[in-house]
Amino acid sequence: MGNIRIPIPYLYWQAFGLPRYAPNNEVFDVEGASAFDSAKILVPDADVQSFFGTPIHLPCKIQNTKRGDALDYFTLPNEPLIEINGGKRMIETVIDGNDGTFKELFSLNDYNVVIRGIAVNDDDPESYPEDIVRMLRKIYELRNSVAIVNKLTTMFGIKLISIIDLRLPAIEGSYGYQPYEFICKSDKEFDLELKKKNG
């Protein structure tokens, strides 16, 4: 079998419809296996590199917060794309004789957090990344919020997320990689006080 060039932005486009960032419009190629060859390109400096040879500037780690159910920090494969959407709950009041509405800010909604990435078996890039997919399933099936460590989410004060959905898109003719997508909402801990009823 001859060498197969797989551009990383194409994988993200094929799985999610979103091209991954590539400096100077260059194309990243998978490297590390006989079936893949790589392209040399100039990229910003980073302390960590993904399996694909791309710099990881915003690694994302997940940890279970429930005591007694051990799950060490798990670094999501490569550098996932993280999308954050916010919203506000507002009361809009129509005032007679005036255009528009009078708006009262009621509160902020939870942030919607979408995590998209590509899982690859580093030890054998031509085989399906079964262990990573099992870990993704384990994280999804937790019955509680999980801690997230990522520079972008930290900027928005997001320390906990509740994972609502897990997607594993199928890609025809894939070579040892699995796209994944977590649909999440931001969460936070609350201190509740129970009051005794008199009488």
Q: Tell whether 5 is covered by a domain.
A: no
Number of domains in the chain: 1
- pTM higher than 0.75: no
49 domain residue, yes or no: no
Lowest-confidence pick of 8-12, 95-99, 144-148, 160-164:
8-12
**Domain contains 174:** yes
DSSP output for 95-127: -TTSSSEEEEEEEEPPPEEEEEEEEE-SS-TTS
The pLDDT score that the predictor gives to residue 115 is: 95
CA distances from 136 to 45, 74, 90, 92, 139 (A): 29, 9, 36, 42, 5
- The CA distances from residue 140 to 22, 143, 177, in Å, are 29, 8, 19
Domain residue limits at 86: 56-187
- Let me know if residue 152 belongs to a domain: yes
Q: Is residue 24 part of a domain?
A: no
Question: Taking residues 49-71, what's their average pLDDT?
Answer: 68
pLDDT at 127 over 90: no
Label each residue of 34-69 as H, E or C. CCCCCCCCCCCCCCEECCCCCEECCCCEEEECCCCC
User: What CATH number has the domain bearing residue 93?
Assistant: 2.40.30.200
**Domain-embedded: residue 45:** no
- Residue at 1 is within a domain: no
Q: What pLDDT is stored for residue 158 in this prediction?
A: 94
Range with lowest mean pLDDT among 48-57, 121-130, 186-195: 48-57
